[in-house]
Chain A
């Protein structure tokens, strides 16, 4: 049973998929089946091949218009969407809140309607409020919406690139142990990564100060409502272990989250020094993980705080690989959405 409250609070709009069953929006990873996750990662693998060519240009999305609409700062996500669109020959327009009518007080809905009237095919939106991309998707009939991060809710393209990078190095993810450490409370990256990894059958351990852990975890509002879309509740694969030295035992992959200093004014932990002492991922701690265990970080990184510099730039680090893979994943998603839209028109 789905409660009314969850429908209002940001459940997926009824039309996240088209009548054909093809996806029309990418709002979160919680409605991706394992088959769709796998197909997206496979398409991204082919896109990586395009990225490695001398001439990084294919005509697949010629004549389509992609707008990146960012209400929050971003470097890698916005630029990688722009690069992905341009490599596929789409026209990409970048819009930031500080240099547009948004500064004059235009609402999100009116901005969306304006872009739709201009014939835009895809809006990539980042917004400080959870649910903003869902709101746009519900109200725009002819535009595909991709969530590039909404508040502390979801960051599905980051989750997909994390899955892709993990699969590239670890192979089969089922049965692997993934530790996500840090500020889980404020992290949309963690929320999307948890869905992805748990759905692929990995066991996910969340680690961090108890004040930065949604508590109790499963009642944080982003797990209990699911199951109606035919997916098993992947949260069965998720546990919480606040002690990093214990959590990291036998880990195959450690994902350090950015300590979001702009959101720490409420004093979630005693001091930075204390945080570093207990939750920094460093060489000594990685030595407790499985041999060959790997490090990921979504960026931007506070080097020397959540990750030691040596580890971040060492052999175990996949951080730069994640950035390259982010372009490939976004190419795959833009291509898939364009295919779905083309069927309808």
Chain B
């Protein structure tokens, strides 16, 4: 297997997350009414980390929800084996400032599905988007409010994010399509 080109290591991921949580608090004037929602799979560990860092820095507990968006996708044919996993919200989304958290922002279709899913759960005050990597190539009018790192890519490339919690290591690499 080709190792791919590593573009972020564990220190860079940690620093990027630190900057992101500061930006989230700055933009929202604190953590009141915040709800971080991680999009499964790898949005969840990132959301948990942001919440843990906010807890450490500010002493405030921000609730973290887990969102599975497979029932809202528009590409069932490309993901027929997808397992659906539970969506858990510790609090009602109604009236909250929701920050959607994912590892990679690409076409924007996942975010579109996530916003549909959240609308079915209630009516948040506003929805913002945080992503560790923005790799471009949007197919919908969607942008991120908080970005860990902008990484220009070609469409034939894959961006692989690994987190300790899910993969045993923290790094971001660019792979050629077809290389696992």
Q: Is B77's CB under 8 angstroms from A345's CB?
A: yes
- Whether the Cβ atoms of B71 and A50 lie closer than 8 Å is yes
Complex interface: stretch among B53-61, B81-89, B136-144, B170-178: B81-89
| Interface range for A | 20 to 34
Q: Mark A66-94, 1 if CB is under 8 A from B, else 0.
A: 00000000000000000000001000000
Are B84 and A46 interface neighbours, CB within 8 A? yes
- Contact status of A46 and B87, CB under 8 A, knowing A22-B81, A343-B80, A345-B77: yes
Q: Mark A13-25, 1 if CB is under 8 A from B, else 0.
A: 0000000101000
Instruction: Tell me if A's interface is mostly helix, strand, loop or mixed.
Output: helix
Residues of the B chain whose Cβ atoms lie less than 8 Å from the Cβ of A1:
none
Chain A residues whose CB sits within 8 angstroms of the CB of B120 once the complex forms? 53, 55, 57-58
A339 and B71 within 8 A (CB): no
Which residues in chain B, 83-115, are within 8 Å of chain A measured between CB atoms? Answer: 83-88
Choose one: B71, B81, B121; the contact of A60 (CB below 8 Å).
B71
In whole angstroms, how far apart are the Cα atoms of A117 and B87 in the complex? 38
Q: Contact between A59 and B77 (Cβ–Cβ < 8 Å)?
A: no
* Interfacial chain A residues near B86, Cβ < 8 Å: 45-46, 49
Q: Which residue of A lies closest to B80 (CB)?
A: A339
Which of chain A's residues has its CB closest to B75's CB?
Answer: A342
The verdict on B76 contacting chain A, using a C-beta distance below 8 Å, is yes
Contact assessment for A22 and B80 in the assembled complex, using a CB-CB cutoff below 8 Å: yes
B68: Cβ under 8 A from any A Cβ: yes
Q: Chain B contacts of A332 at CB under 8 A?
A: 84
Chain A residues within 8 Å of B, Cβ to Cβ: 20, 22, 39, 42-43, 45-47, 49-50, 53-55, 57-60, 88, 332, 335, 338-340, 342-343, 345
Q: A42-B83, A55-B121 are in contact. List 13 more A-B contacts (CB 8 A).
A: A39-B83, A42-B84, A46-B85, A46-B87, A47-B84, A49-B88, A50-B71, A55-B120, A58-B72, A60-B71, A339-B77, A339-B79, A340-B80
